[in-house]
A and B are shown apart, each in its own frame.
Chain A
């Protein structure tokens, strides 16, 4: 069965510092991976996606992620965070033939000035 594990429930960082949010997935078949961000009282906004091709994926707001098949990971990174990046981040996966997203439990990113 598909599953997604986000290794950190909360990540505090200082403004302008780099950040990495970790995500591991499990699937016995080809998998497609996504990172979403959720601001308070809002829906989910897509940051980036990996469907195929280059394993380094660039998204919006300066975020990027690297698909690592051997380590079954899809970690999200940003070289320098801003206060406005404070939000909850969700890693999700789906697979060919499936019509649903499987989400991790989320990582709350807190930016301290």
Chain B
């Protein structure tokens, strides 16, 4: 069974640009969550989607958005990039209907210059 796939693995963007990250969950998983990991703030929850609906959102500005498609694949978008958005962005998938473990992808390393 294939794991969680995130693309691209690395990205370099300029301040003010926007970026879209992609996540393909494990087959059969309907929940996709996104996390931001930085040295200073650690792992912080961005949002979670289940069956194309956002069920929960973390404490991030509106520049951070996401969506989920009917095949459970998810994208997150960050507009008007700031230097502080440089981070490892991790996607996790799970079955989603009961508390169970989340499986993480390798992450996308975003560097804003």
A residues with CB within 8 A of B: 32, 34, 36, 41-46, 49, 51, 90, 92, 94-96, 98-106
Residue among A43, A92, A102, A103 with max Cβ neighbours from chain B (10 Å):
A43
Asked if residues B104 and A43 are in contact (CB atoms below 8 Å), the reply is: yes
Is B99 positioned at the interface, with any CB of A under 8 Å from its CB? yes
Asked if residues B58 and A46 are in contact (CB atoms below 8 Å), the reply is: no
Is B75 positioned at the interface, with any CB of A under 8 Å from its CB? no
In the bound complex, residues from chain A placing their C-beta under 8 Å from that of B102 are 46, 101
| Closest B residue to A92 using CB positions | B43
In the bound complex, residues from chain B placing their C-beta under 8 Å from that of A102 are 45
B residues with CB within 8 A of A: 4, 6, 31, 33, 35, 42-43, 45, 48, 50, 55-56, 58, 90, 92, 96, 99-107, 109
CB distance from A33 to the nearest CB of B (A): 10
Asked if residues A100 and B106 are in contact (CB atoms below 8 Å), the reply is: no
Say which residue of A34, A95, A105, A106 sits within 8 Å of B101 (CB atoms). A34
Say which residue of A34, A36, A90, A99 sits within 8 Å of B56 (CB atoms). A99
CB distance from A47 to the nearest CB of B (A): 10
Closest 6 CB pairs of A and B: A43-B104, A103-B43, A44-B104, A100-B45, A99-B48, A99-B56
